[in-house]
Amino acid sequence: MLKIAWNELYCHSLPTGHRFPMIKYNLIPEQLIYEGTINDENLFSPILIQEQDILSSHTREYWEKLKNGTLSKREERNTGFPYSEELVMRERTIVQGSIDCSLFALQNRISINVAGGTHHAYSYKGEGFCLLNDIAIAANYLLNHTEIQKILVVDLDVHQGDGTAEIFNNDHRVFTFSMHGEKNFPLKKQKSDLDVPLKDHADDKEYLDLLDWNLKSVIQSFQPEFIFYQAGVDILKNDKLGRLDVSPVGCKERDRMVISTCHENNIPIMINMGGGYSHSIRDIVEAHANTFRLSQEIFF
């Protein structure tokens, strides 16, 4: 069964009117249940992650500042969020959701968190709506607590997975692959193991051809035992922050390519949502919902 992490905290803790569209975290499971793609049994509610698991990927200094609310004004501004204890609780719940999903994926081959993909969080700082890096923390959890020793991160959000690249810079057990808008945030990119920068207005064909070629070649050369997939939908043409011209059909085909590649190669996959900032909330929810629909269709 497809296990999906969701907790009511996912959708709370920002002042209304904040530009980060938290409402999608409620609308996505609502839509999926309404249409019958999932039911309540698919959902589980993660609890708060323990501090020791956070420290596998973040410095104690940064975590103490986050926990105690002692980020400088500038550090707080860089996170993109007004600081609150509830926001840190939300993030801790999401990150535990990604750990739990990784373990479910080892059992059931696939699992999804209805949040996460917080790839701009560095070991020592938060940035761009990301406080703790759920991909890094879950990957380190697998490396430290299971037999898994070779992990591939496929980051297809339109923004580079700079925090993840920084955290695993010197760790050869984790291969970071990021395909992103060349001119998008962050302006100063980190070095992933494989970066595929895209020109403005890259369309479906260009996008999917590049993904197909690079995904196959990295799986063949690295032979991963587990894949984390950051499935941000800010690659869509009508995204406010993206600069690409990928259509909703192209975005769905992207998901199909990654999910069916894992299925065919028998590689467990854990998916987290990543960004999505289209003008229409309906487009955002629909694009994210496709990721869940395809996961059900391909695996179950």
Which residues sit at the interface with Zn ion, rule CB under 5 A? 157, 159, 232, 234, 275
Instruction: Please say which residue, 186 or 218, places its beta carbon nearer to Zn ion.
Output: 186
Instruction: Please say which residue, 163 or 275, places its beta carbon nearer to Zn ion.
Output: 275
Measured from the Cβ of residue 124, the count of other Cβ atoms closer than 10 Å reads 14
Least separation, in Å, of the C-beta of 195 and Zn ion?
Answer: 15
Least separation, in Å, of the C-beta of 162 and Zn ion?
Answer: 11
Instruction: Please say which residue, 250 or 275, places its beta carbon nearer to Zn ion.
Output: 275
Instruction: Please say which residue, 125 or 243, places its beta carbon nearer to Zn ion.
Output: 243
Instruction: Please say which residue, 116 or 275, places its beta carbon nearer to Zn ion.
Output: 275
Least separation, in Å, of the C-beta of 175 and Zn ion?
Answer: 20
| 193: its two tokens | 């193991």
Least separation, in Å, of the C-beta of 70 and Zn ion?
Answer: 27
Instruction: Please say which residue, 232 or 250, places its beta carbon nearer to Zn ion.
Output: 232
Q: What does the alpha-carbon distance between residue 14 and residue 2 come to, in Å, rounded to a whole number?
A: 29
List residues bridging with 176 in a β-sheet: 153
**Residue 193: which residues within 8 A CB-CB, separation 6 or more?**
165, 175, 176, 177
Least separation, in Å, of the C-beta of 101 and Zn ion?
Answer: 20
Instruction: Please say which residue, 232 or 268, places its beta carbon nearer to Zn ion.
Output: 232
Least separation, in Å, of the C-beta of 274 and Zn ion?
Answer: 6
Of residues 259, 263, 269, the one with CA closest to residue 294: 259
Least separation, in Å, of the C-beta of 184 and Zn ion?
Answer: 8
**Residue entry with tokens 């028998």:** 266
Instruction: Give the CB-nearest residue to Zn ion.
Output: 275
Of residues 87, 118, 117, the one with CA closest to residue 18: 87
